Structure 1
């Protein structure tokens, strides 16, 4: 089951991708893809629908963020051993957590806006985990029961804001458009092993990241378990699980984004994104 949202910003409708890659309209069954729709009970109701009976959306146009009403956008830093090495950082003993503002969330192919006074806007392809059932103090063994599905994320980052402006990662991660998610959320049971997915990102046709979730230090189940010890996780919350090597910061010399560039990225089974970089107005 691949759930998506399509239409103009702020007026998206819920949809589902059929076996032929066509978008089908779900608005006759649900108001949107968020909240209770993402719980086990909500997804069970959707899976019982005959997709072929749903109206075909012949021109879906823009794809919006694949989930809505996200309360928390939680990110994990330095969660790939090879990425930590390229930045010169030590392997974390526990997950490094920080928050990305939910106002950064945007559609998978919307423009990436380079903030005013930015010098070091960077890219990061990441596996996103969408929470389904509420998770509070869950064990690692039970953690996956609380996952609704997975999505592709570009964890866009401004490195100077992140590391040189007071040491607070959140302000380097939260600019408008810094959280493209989608094109769709793939239900958990359709991804056999989230720890064995190829992932890649290119800028202007040059491959920059070419990795795999195999090199994650802390896997999905552990992250859900771990984060739930510090805060409850609600339906629609998103965990962005870290990035493999190849970010601009890790290049020698470093290379960062400028207006007019094209970013393309993808994760095996989760689709692709394409973004144009533009300067903030």
Structure 2
């Protein structure tokens, strides 16, 4: 992808997960590809990327929360006012796929938009957590590209399942970076390219509800558990992505998430 300028180098402590020789392996970044914890280096094409999420310990499922209209500029782009409280909805495990994955575009869709989003991964249980203590419950951060097929949208305040819960519609990765290495999650730049052309540029400082505020809000009425995800919304600059588009999303210190749009089945 020529012409894509880097933002900030990948932060220290990044880790990811791949499938290689029929098993799941935790890996670290390496100039030639990835490195297994045992030291062996794997090159691209030798393994499959998995979502950059730690395996769950003793749990059958993780909760995956997503935000609608959480950037004021994106709300204006869609002719909506920013919400007065977090506009949250849930996503199924079927939606998640890894770095360099493929996302099907429904036949006949006219409005399939990428959405570069900061993801907060919960590291320890949170229940009735104050905003001041909320970030202590974050294990790390990663990137999501939460595609929306807006042809099916009935109401931004109650998104239709077909908009945001399609198979492989949410690539996540490639790396999970420790929260301590990122510091303030409200000071990160985001960018998205489609086929090498910059289409989206924003900053997490423009969120309507920041990460700490979202954790305080959610934990006020439910328990957040290790491994739960909070996708925090996207800034303005989304465009339609036809079949064959390569979409790259980048966030300061978290790396670049690559994804390709393929033709979906009827």
**TM-score for both structures, normalised by structure 1:** 0.81
SS of match in other structure, 1:195: helix
Distance 1:10 1:83 in 2: 41
Higher helix fraction: Structure 1 or Structure 2?
1
- 1:49 aligned partner: none
Which residue, 15, 27, 41 being the options, matches 1:3? 15
Q: Given the alignment of the two structures, is residue 274 of structure 1 paired with residue 258 of structure 2, yes or no? A: yes
Let me know the Cα RMSD of the aligned residues. 2.3
Which residue, 78, 83, 89 being the options, matches 2:80? 89
Distance 1:93 1:165 in 2: 14
- 2:26 aligned partner: 14
Structure 1 pair 124–166 and aligned structure 2 pair: CA distance change class (3 A): closer
What per-residue deviation string (whole Å, max 9, x for no partner) do you get for residues 149-198 of structure 1?
00011011111223379953443101111111000100000002211111
CA contact (8 A) 1:162 1:173 kept: no
CA contact (8 A) 2:117 2:234 kept: yes
What per-residue deviation string (whole Å, max 9, x for no partner) do you get for residues 113-167 of structure 1?
1134533211100000001101111111111111000001101111122337995
- 2:36 aligned partner: 25
Task: Structure 1: give runs of 5+ residues left out of the alignment.
Answer: 27-53, 249-255
Which residue, 119, 123, 129 being the options, matches 1:132? 123
Which residue, 47, 52, 56 being the options, matches 1:61? 47
CA contact (8 A) 1:98 1:169 kept: no
Q: Given the alignment of the two structures, is residue 98 of structure 1 paired with residue 89 of structure 2, yes or no? A: yes
